[in-house]
Amino acid sequence: MKKIKWIVLLGILVLLFGYKFSDGNREINISNEKSKDTSHITIEKEHVYYGNLLLVGLDNPVQDIGVQRDVIYLSGHPDYIQEYQLLDPAIMLSEMVAERFSAMVNAAKKDHVNHFMINSGFRSFEEQNQLYEEMGPAYALPAGFSEHNLGLALDIGSTLNKMEDAEEGKWLEKNSWKYGFILRYPKDKTAITGIQYEPWHFRYVGLPHSAIMFKKNYTLEQYLDYVKKKKSFSLRYEGKKYYISYYDFKGKPSIKAAVSRNYEISGDNKSGIIVTGVE
């Protein structure tokens, strides 16, 4: 009887104060605490279609505003490509994502995993259309309906083996979330994503979102549903406090949103905005 009482008490404490999970020295505590240092800003509806958390697919095409403005040719930035190879010197990517990818492969090198290659990055609508015409719908998506049109997605390979068997692929599945990346189309989530398993396709969503998605085994679709349902929550990760809030426009041209001193805004490419504050 005492054991049952303690279990019930523990459940109540979890509901009241949130819960935590850890990865070695990395610990994440999720709660409903709200930031005490906030102001309010006006967000226009066009922001629904811009940001790191955009859901892209046949039902949610990329809008012009959603294309990253900092796309660069990786071959023109030797500092970024010292620890991996490019399949093609014309491969492009968001510079912000390139910086995070470089940090990630440098971390992998410390674990003696160092045979990475980028096979594909950003594609213009014209390039996506050409690929679709050449490969067909079984292997490519129409122009505007691929994550590659954002500048946030990349196809990563190994110079030694297929990604499903390579140490590079295994390392990324376990560690990419620490650098803001997710395996976008996992083997056990095809019914949710609508896309076949692609062990090479990774997407940048940023921290702390990638950490939550990894720990909860969520796809981007599931995570956006989770945020929309929660509306507002906070978490502590690596000494930082994050506040995440969801706002639904519901036909409004603009909304007032509470933000902390440092914040990021991303749309979901449907009807909502996710505001992520950090202290």
Q: Catalytic: 27?
A: no
Supply the DSSP symbol for 60.
B
Number of CB atoms found within 10 A of residue 148's CB:
25
Report strand pairing: 232-237 vs 240-248. antiparallel
Please pick, among 33, 127, 198, 264, the residue that the annotation labels catalytic: 198
Q: Compute and round to an integer the Cα radius of gyration of the chain.
A: 20
CA 180, 185, 186, 192 dihedral sign is positive
Supply angle C-alpha 89, 91, 95, rounded to 5. 115
Would you call the peptide bond into 208 cis, given omega within 30 degrees of 0 as the criterion?
A: yes
Which residues have CB under 8 Å from 176's CB, separation 6+?
104, 182, 183, 202, 210
How far, in Å, are 7, 10, 229, 273 from residue 16 at the CA level? 14, 10, 18, 26
Q: Which residues are catalytic?
A: 198
